[in-house]
């Protein structure tokens, strides 16, 4: 299985940029497709899709969220961070079955 | 508006069975692959099973293979997960999730919409 590694937590100040990383144990890219996706989960809520295929903003997601990366290294950026963005963020790969998730990065206020 | 509503969770003894349901609305259910994903208390997300739109393709995580069965009834807009031989490590919030769709109308293996989950607790 492809293992996705995320830092457990990231402290950020409101109005600043947050950069959340996800590293895969092997490439999750096929030709021009980067098969990494990002989700936001707030306490007591279901996950919500933010970004699909590394850089495509999901419907209804604010433009302060963006994604980048290819191969094994991917980044979710939130700029500027707002109070409503305090949550846990998960990456997920669909390059190989089974689909796997990172352990999650909890975004905290500094 | 896409809605996914899970039901069927509860407290069950180890070794027993339970069947979860997920009622879908707001989209053409028969056109989309569906998934079950679980989250143990305080833990991360684990994909459990997936089923294609016409039930032609079914996949399971190794941790549940041979014990869980995913199925769907497109006439009823409902996804199911039959769970047997339940273990304490199956205790989790179980979500159903729909596969994704690009702006160009191409389906993809990400989870675009999630239900609110149904809690399964396996304990004696």
pLDDT mean by block of 10 residues, chain A; 110 residues: 98 98 98 96 98 97 98 98 98 97 97
A27 neighbors A54 (Cβ within 8 angstroms): no
Check CB contact under 8 Å for A53 and B46. no
Residues of B in contact with A37 (CB under 8 A): 100, 110-111
What average pLDDT does the segment B17-39 reach?
A: 98
Helix (H, G, I), strand (E, B) or coil at B88: helix
- The pLDDT of residue B99: 95
What average pLDDT does the segment B39-43 reach?
A: 97
Cis peptide bond N-terminal to A41, omega within 30: no
Check CB contact under 8 Å for B47 and A46. no
Give how far the C-alpha of residue B86 lies from the chain's centroid of Cα atoms, to the nearest Å: 16
Apex A70 CA angle, A66 and A73, nearest 5:
85
Residues of B in CB contact (< 8 Å) with A are 44-47, 50, 59, 61-62, 95, 100, 102-103, 108-117
Beta strands in A43-103 (DSSP E): 48-52, 56-57, 65-70, 73-78, 88-93, 100-101
- The pLDDT of residue A9: 98
């Amino acid at each position: 299985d492809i293992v996705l590694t995320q830092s457990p937590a990231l402290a950020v100040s409101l109005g600043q940029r947050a950069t959340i990383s996800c590293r895969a144990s092997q490439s999750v890219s096929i030709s021009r497709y980067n098969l990494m996706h990002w989700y936001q989960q707030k306490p007591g809520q279901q996950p919500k899709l933010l970004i699909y295929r590394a850089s495509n903003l999901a419907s209804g997601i604010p433009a302060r969220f963006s994604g980048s990366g290819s191969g094994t290294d991917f980044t979710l950026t939130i700029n500027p961070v707002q109070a409503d963005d305090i949550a846990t963020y998960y990456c997920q790969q669909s390059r190989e079955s089974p689909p796997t998730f990172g352990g999650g990065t909890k975004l905290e206020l500094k | 508006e896409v809605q996914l509503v899970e039901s069927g969770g509860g407290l069950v003894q180890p070794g027993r069975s339970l069947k979860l349901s997920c009622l879908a609305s707001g989209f053409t259910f028969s056109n989309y692959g569906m998934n079950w994903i679980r989250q143990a208390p305080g833990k991360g997300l684990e994909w459990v099973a997936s089923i294609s739109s016409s039930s032609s393709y079914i996949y399971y995580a190794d941790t549940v293979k041979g014990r869980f069965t995913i199925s769907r009834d497109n006439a009823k807009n409902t996804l199911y997960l039959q769970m047997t031989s339940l273990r304490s490590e199956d205790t989790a919030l179980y979500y159903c999730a729909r596969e994704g769709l690009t702006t160009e109308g191409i389906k993809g293996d990400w989870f675009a919409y999630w239900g609110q989950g149904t809690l399964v607790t396996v304990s004696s």
